[in-house]
């Protein structure tokens, strides 16, 4: 390695490290690794940086928090609770809020970072889903992501129970009620989790070790794996000029991407600091200490648990008794089914899509959501399903703020949970096709220039010009959704091999519906180079407005 122009301190440090680590080869290949640029590629970083902020603020909180359920009389500085009996955990959380400088700020930042951690994961997962970035070779990383989301929910649940206030206690009680309803093992799980009868004296310290050690440890491991896989597989890129499935176009890791990532970390940290300063979150001193005897109106879980709350509220009263055993379906179904549908659906989607499309090739160029209308519609339906449950999780606040009948919000929710996803599917599908047509019009007929021209015989037309090269390349990045070749029956009416059983026929049918090109782009039109800058009006009108 020539070190001719390298300043001495850098040269000596780097050779010191390289002599011992052999890091040179790795850095040689990776320092200028190319990262494509798109705003939506930064969404996952919200979750990543929130996690780092959670570790930092969380460590601060552990210095002062006492995860103990032993009873003490509060002697801190918040006057309306003076002398009240409470757990040591709650008393120390109050202490962090009022008797430690910066303690309230750190508590609030920790909580806001937790909300942004989950929200960031959600928007990131949606971006990956809608652009098809989970496709081969990234299925494993997608699965890791689903695991991360599930763990994040658990981490949130164990975390917000820790202060042992009346609000978090309501969440804990519901957790217990759900756990004990499980067939066969319910009472065992509950008695082992709580060290006896609910609430016992153990659950806070047990949740504490899960929350600060076990789950973050697994999260850290999985996040590292997630990042390494992303690094090795290189990031997907949006379709565009010069971008293909075999290259990656963008800025180098060092220095540009590194600086951008650093800036985004600071932004995330700054926004969380802003929220922690100006928006009060989880004011535990107003809630009072936990007792299983009391509850407040409008007790809600944090937003990411809201959909479970909503599904529990939506459910009619079903319970089966047989042979002396009880199956509380009105707890089991809402607690397990929506979560199961969403998480399993997410995990299986890449594989189901492969099965339906028969597509086994690698994909590195992201789909624009409109170009795979069925996937986009399925995604939007899932969002609607989740959204209705989430909304229902706040139906008491909705009823109270907008003065509508609480019971009617439930009745409407029971209908919407089935109708909403269907309607969304149809609407999204039509919107996708509409957008595809407008793309086709831009390619086939150019864009409106804003120039009105009067023809010799008096007719007015608007001049169309070919689109900007970058735009055209972006639009032309569209590829037909793959489908299984030869699913049609032959002349004798016999379907091809593998498509004969009921499952095979279903697969063939789904493949034909899911795959293929819905709206083809005009192939013949080159871009910009040829001289027919203005595309005639008149005959285009129909295709433009259709």
Partner 1 sequence: MNRITAGRRHPLARYAVLLLALGLVGGFYTLLAPSSERADAAIASGRADDVAEGKKLFQQSCSSCHGLNAEGTAQGPTLVGVGAAAVDFQVSSGRMPLANPGAQAPRKPPAPWVNADTVRQLSAYIQSLGGGPTVPTDEQVDPAKGDKARGGELFRANCIQCHNFVGAGGALTQGKYAPPLHEASPKQIYEAMITGPQAMPVFNDSIITPDEKRDMIAYIVGVREEPNPGGAGLGRIGPVTEGLVAWIAGISLLVLAAIWITAKKRQAHQ
Partner 2 sequence: MTDNHHDIDQPEERVPRRVIGTPSPAAGTSLLGAEEPAAKELTGVPGVTPQDERTARKGERAAALCFTVTLLAGIAFIVSYVVFQVGDLETTKTSTLALGSTLAVALLALAAGIVIWVRMIMPKYNLVQERHPMASGPEAREYVAETFLQGAAESGITRHPLLRRTLLLAAAPLGLAPLVLLRDLGPSYANFSEKLRHTVWGEKTKDGKHRRLVVEGTGAPIRAADFNSPGGILSVVPEGYEHDLNALAKATLILIKFRAEEIKPGTNLNWTHDGIVAYSKICTHVGCPAALYEQSTHHILCPCHQSTFDAADGAKVIFGPAARPLPQLPIAVDNEGYLVATADFAVPPGPSFWERGDAEAEVRENGGHA
Cα dist from 311 to 24, 122, 172, 329, 333, whole Å: 55, 19, 17, 12, 9
**Which of the stretches 121-129, 311-319, 342-350, 375-383 binds partner 2 when contact is defined by CB under 8 A?**
311-319
Number of residues that bind partner 1 (CB under 8 A): 74
Asked if 345 and 338 count as a contact pair (C-beta separation under 8 A), the reply is no
In the complex, what is the shortest distance from the CB of residue 67 to partner 1, in angstroms, rounded to a whole number?
22
283 binds, among partner 1, partner 2, none (CB under 5 to 8 A by kind): partner 1
Closer to partner 1 by CB, 253 or 267: give it: 267
Give the x/- contact pattern for partner 2 in 41-80, rule: CB under 8 A. ------------------------------x-----xxx-
The residues in 97-156 that bind partner 1, with binding defined as CB under 8 A, are 97-98, 104, 108, 111-112, 115-116, 119-120, 123
**Which of the stretches 13-21, 207-215, 459-467, 489-497 binds partner 2 when contact is defined by CB under 8 A?**
459-467
Quote the CA–CA distance of 284 and 160 in Å, as a whole number.
Answer: 11
Among 32, 38, 234, 414, binds partner 1 (CB under 8 A): 38
- Give the closest residue to 306 by CA, choosing from 438, 217, 374, 396: 396
Among 14, 40, 245, 489, binds partner 2 (CB under 8 A): 245
Closer to partner 1 by CB, 202 or 396: give it: 396
Cis amide linkage into residue 375, ω under 30° from 0: no
If binding is defined by CB under 8 A, does position 394 make contact with partner 1? yes
Among 137, 486, 501, 516, binds partner 2 (CB under 8 A): 137
Closer to partner 1 by CB, 112 or 425: give it: 112
3 state DSSP class of 449: strand
Cα dist from 545 to 244, 441, 442, 450, 476, whole Å: 32, 9, 12, 17, 21
**Which residues fall within 8 angstroms of residue 90, CB to CB, at 6 or more apart?**
163, 164, 165, 284, 289, 290
477 binds, among partner 2, partner 1, none (CB under 5 to 8 A by kind): none
Asked if 357 and 509 count as a contact pair (C-beta separation under 8 A), the reply is no
- Give the closest residue to 439 by CA, choosing from 475, 407, 481, 392: 475
In the complex, what is the shortest distance from the CB of residue 92 to partner 1, in angstroms, rounded to a whole number?
17
Give the x/- contact pattern for partner 2 in 184-223, rule: CB under 8 A. xxxxx-xxxx-xxxxxx-x---x-----------------
In the complex, what is the shortest distance from the CB of residue 223 to partner 1, in angstroms, rounded to a whole number?
18
3 state DSSP class of 140: helix
If binding is defined by CB under 8 A, does position 27 make contact with partner 2? no
The residues in 251-290 that bind partner 1, with binding defined as CB under 8 A, are 260, 263-264, 267-268, 271-272, 274-283, 286-288
**Which residues fall within 8 angstroms of residue 520, CB to CB, at 6 or more apart?**
440
DSSP label at 521? P
If binding is defined by CB under 8 A, does position 283 make contact with partner 2? no
């Amino acid at each position: 390695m020539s070190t001719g122009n390298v300043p001495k301190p850098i040269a000596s440090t780097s050779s010191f490290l390289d002599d011992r680590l052999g890091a040179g080869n790795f850095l040689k290949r990776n320092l200028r690794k190319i990262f494509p640029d798109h705003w939506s590629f930064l969404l996952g970083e919200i979750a990543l940086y929130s996690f780092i902020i959670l570790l930092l603020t969380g460590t601060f909180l552990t210095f002062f928090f006492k995860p103990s359920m032993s009873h003490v009389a509060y002697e801190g500085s918040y006057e309306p609770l003076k002398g009240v009996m409470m757990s040591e955990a709650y008393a120390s959380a109050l202490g962090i809020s009022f008797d430690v400088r910066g303690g309230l700020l750190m508590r609030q930042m920790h909580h806001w970072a937790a909300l942004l951690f989950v929200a960031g994961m959600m928007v990131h997962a949606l971006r990956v889903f809608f652009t098809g970035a989970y496709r081969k070779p990234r299925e494993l990383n997608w699965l890791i992501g689903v695991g991360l989301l599930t763990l994040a929910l658990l981490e949130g649940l164990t975390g917000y129970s820790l202060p042992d206030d009346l609000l978090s206690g309501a969440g804990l009680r519901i957790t217990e009620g759900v756990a004990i309803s499980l067939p066969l093992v319910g009472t065992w799980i509950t008695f082992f989790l709580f060290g006896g009868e609910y609430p016992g004296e153990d659950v806070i310290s047990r949740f504490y070790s899960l929350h600060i050690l076990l789950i973050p440890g697994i999260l850290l491991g999985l996040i590292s794996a997630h990042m390494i896989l992303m690094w090795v597989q290189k990031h997907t890129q949006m379709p565009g000029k010069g971008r293909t499935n075999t290259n990656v176009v963008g800025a180098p890791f060092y220095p540009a991407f590194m600086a951008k990532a650093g800036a985004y970390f600071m932004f995330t940290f700054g926004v969380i600091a802003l929220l922690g300063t100006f928006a009060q979150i989880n004011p535990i001193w107003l809630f009072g200490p936990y007792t299983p005897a009391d509850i407040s109106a409008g007790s809600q879980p944090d937003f990411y648990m809201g959909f479970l709350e909503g599904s529990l509220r939506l459910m009619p009263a079903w319970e089966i008794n047989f042979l002396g055993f009880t199956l509380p379906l009105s707890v089991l179904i809402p607690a397990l089914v929506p979560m199961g549908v969403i998480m399993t659906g997410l995990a299986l989607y890449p594989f189901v899509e492969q099965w339906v499309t028969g597509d086994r090739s690698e994909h590195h160029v992201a789909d624009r959501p409109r170009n795979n209308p069925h996937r986009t519609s399925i995604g939007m339906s899932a969002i609607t399903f989740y959204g209705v449950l989430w909304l229902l999780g706040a139906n008491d606040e909705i009823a109270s703020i907008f003065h509508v009948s609480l019971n009617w919000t439930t009745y409407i929710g029971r209908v919407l949970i089935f109708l909403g996803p269907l309607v969304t599917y149809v609407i999204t599908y039509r919107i996708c096709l509409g957008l595809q047509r407008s793309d086709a019009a831009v390619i086939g007929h150019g864009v409106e220039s804003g120039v009105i021209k009067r023809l010799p015989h008096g007719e007015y037309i608007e001049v169309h010009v070919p689109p900007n090269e970058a735009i055209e390349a972006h639009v032309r990045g569209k590829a037909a959704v793959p489908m299984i070749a030869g699913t049609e029956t032959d002349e004798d009416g016999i379907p091809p091999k593998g498509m004969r059983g009921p499952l095979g026929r279903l697969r063939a049918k789904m493949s034909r519906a899911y795959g293929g090109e819905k709206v083809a782009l005009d192939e013949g039109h080159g871009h910009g180079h040829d001289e027919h800058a203005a595309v005639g009006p008149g005959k285009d009108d129909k295709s433009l407005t259709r």
